[in-house]
Amino acid sequence: MKTEFGESWRRTFYSAIRDSLNLDEKSDLRSRDLLYSLLKDSDYGLQLANISSVLDGNDSIIFGAGPSIESDIEGLLHFISRKHPVIVAADGAAEALLTRGIRPDIVVSDLDSCSVETLKLCSKSGCVFVHAHGDNADLMKAIVPQISSNRVGTTQVASRDPVHNFGGFTDGDRACFVAGSFNPSRLIIAGMDFGSDEGRFSVNRYSNARNPKRPLKLEWGKKSLEFLISNARKTRFQNVTKLGLEINGAPKVEYREIN
């Protein structure tokens, strides 16, 4: 596992993101410590070893929950059925995948879009990476105890194992950092629009209020992903997101070109 990605991301981005979005760093730290208390008895090393054995040297598709996700799943079905890449879902993207009979190998979630039932289901055969931030302490208390032992904690502040900073700010780019930490040969980015429109699978199921800071959060997410791409030089990146913005370092390709 390449641990330097997360620490490099934290040093480069966290303070700037905290200041631009007026985040409460103390709340982030408290949430990290809460997740630590919920996961401290987990077999963290075994989970990471299992994930490494799945991702190392293999292709992976990272599905964000943007407006393009349903088109992107449809366009990639043939490749998935033939090549069996590692499927990584960012939060609510897991719901979209399950509607097409695809169970993600990894789900990366701050728990606000993906249902508890889906998280429990995906943890049985794969792994759920639960993210702690200053606004989701109540969700962690309610949901984390319901997920099986196949779970890993993530944070955007300093790591406190078994809660690790893999890098990334939104669920989508964080999913890329998680996968990129385990030496995949290729990361195919799908459903990661980074535009102003919100996909139906990314909606917060616990709040009806639209987050006015969402465009700025996505801007930081895109910058974070491009930082990963520029540093993960041994991994090839491709972007098939149908409606999404261009991502530096991840050339836009058609579904038929993925083979």
> In percent, how much of the chain has pLDDT > 90?
85
Distance CA 59, CA 188 (A): 8
Distances, alpha carbon 248 to alpha carbons 179, 188, 216, 226, in Å = 18, 14, 18, 6
Is 3's pLDDT higher than 70? no
Is 193's pLDDT higher than 70? yes
Q: State pLDDT tens for residues 247-259.
A: 999 999 999 999 9
Domain housing 222:
4-257
Q: State pLDDT tens for residues 117-146.
A: 999 999 998 999 999 999 999 999 999 999
Q: Which CATH number is 209's domain given?
A: 3.90.1480
How does residue 246 score in pLDDT terms, banded at 50, 70 and 90?
A: very high
How does residue 42 score in pLDDT terms, banded at 50, 70 and 90?
A: confident
pTM for this prediction: 0.96
- Nearest residue to 96 (alpha-carbon basis) of 126, 123, 64, 60: 64
Instruction: Output the six-digit token pair for 249.
Output: 């370092």
Domain count for the chain, please give it: 1
Map residue 132 onto helix, strand or coil.
strand
Alpha helices in the chain (DSSP H): 4-9, 15-21, 25-39, 44-55, 69-83, 93-99, 116-125, 137-143, 171-180, 214-231
Q: Which pLDDT score, from 0 to 100, does residue 248 have?
A: 97
- Nearest residue to 62 (alpha-carbon basis) of 197, 166, 147, 204: 166
